[in-house]
Amino acid sequence: MRKLSADTLDLTRRPRRNRKAEWARRLVRENRITTDDLIWPIFINEGDTPREPIASMPGVDRLSVAEAVKVAQEAVALGIPAIALFPNTPSHLRDETGSEAMNPDNLTCRALRAIKAAVPGLGLVTDVALDPYTSHGHDGLIEDGRILNDETVAVLCKQALVQAEAGADIIAPSDMMDGRVGAIRAALDDAGFQDVSIMAYSAKYASAYYGPFRDAVGSSGTLSGDKKTYQMDYANSDEAIIEAELDIAEGADMVMVKPGLPYLDIVHRLKSTFGVPTYAYQVSGEYAMLQAASAAGMIDIEKAMVETLTAFKRAGADGILTYFAPAMARYLAKNA
């Protein structure tokens, strides 16, 4: 190998010049997080107890409807444009068919009405799937151990309608049934909800990172088997293109990748291929890992939070669903 000396090095271009000081780094920075990029997922609970801590998600609580209204007001004060609601349905209201999902007075719908009345300018995102409502913990109806696709889609349409009637601004189907986006779009339009958007969980993988979330919504103890027949194989990338293409053709206004950080390549591929609003969900397991590392003194949680959320933007995400949303918003205000 030829050795280079100071005389033979070509240092006409020195990239380090653009990194020499904070002001210089700011001038050339390619990606920035703002509060406009954040969607705050919250968990809601039956009863009057304001907050119930979730052991596997330090700093995250299940909220009563009244407390969820206060959190929604906090989101507005922080400049966060939207929150996403996830219910912890009591066991006595869960059954084989997830019938509580279609109840216009269920926990999600009551929370939607209360929040919309208090803070009408805040965007409200709702999950369309049956797993918070079924006694078996699956996202769809089951017959002889098999998840029924078309029959489940019919139920999801009814679930989407009661949520839209209660005030949902964005319907987010997370079930991964085939054809559900087109069916939900048609149901919403036929009922006069043409302005309600659909954020499709287009690339939702069968992942080990969902554990704390299932604790939060009470489905970890009820889930039988796994979800690999309808959620995607984490070894696949091209399949995400097919899923997103179908969802967009069926009327999705936005697409989502879930989980987030381990799937930045998928975020990048979807955004580069389709150019539609593309979101990522920094899921419960990702959040819990960072919190556990911080509690063990291994990382600086604030620096890790900012770095990981910036990585989503660098990959092409237009926004991130993250439990760090309020902490990130406060960080941005502090460092404005």
Residue 317 contacts by C-beta under 8 Å, 6 or more apart in sequence?
37, 257, 267, 271, 278, 279, 280
Assess contact for 317 and 203: CB atoms under 8 A.
no
Which pair of tokens denotes residue 52?
A: 């119930």
116 in active site: no
Helices (H) and strands (E) in the chain — how many of each?
11, 12
What is the Cα–Cα distance from 53 to 63, expressed in whole angstroms?
9
Query: What global pTM score does this model have?
Result: 0.94
Extents of the domains making up the chain? 32-334
What is the Cα–Cα distance from 195 to 52, expressed in whole angstroms?
34
Q: How far is CA 160 from the centre of its chain?
A: 17
Which pair of tokens denotes residue 27?
A: 């001038």
Q: Cite the beta strand spans of the chain per DSSP E.
A: 38-45, 51-53, 61-63, 82-88, 123-128, 141-143, 146-148, 170-173, 197-204, 254-258, 278-282, 319-322
Catalytic residue (choose from 116, 227, 258, 271): 258
Residue 318 contacts by C-beta under 8 Å, 6 or more apart in sequence?
37, 254, 271, 277, 278, 279
Catalytic residue (choose from 204, 227, 271, 313): 204
Under CATH, which architecture does the 32-334 domain have?
Answer: Alpha-Beta Barrel (3.20)
Assess contact for 278 and 200: CB atoms under 8 A.
no
- Beta-carbon neighbour count of residue 49 at 10 Å? 12
258 in active site: yes
pLDDT in tens, the chain (336 residues): 556 666 667 778 889 999 999 999 999 999 999 999 999 999 999 999 999 999 999 999 999 999 999 999 999 999 999 999 999 999 999 999 999 999 999 999 999 999 999 999 999 999 999 999 999 989 999 999 999 999 999 999 999 999 999 999 999 999 999 999 999 999 999 999 999 999 999 999 999 999 888 888 877 777 878 999 999 999 999 999 999 999 999 999 999 999 999 999 999 999 999 999 999 999 999 999 999 999 999 999 999 999 999 999 999 999 999 999 999 999 999 998
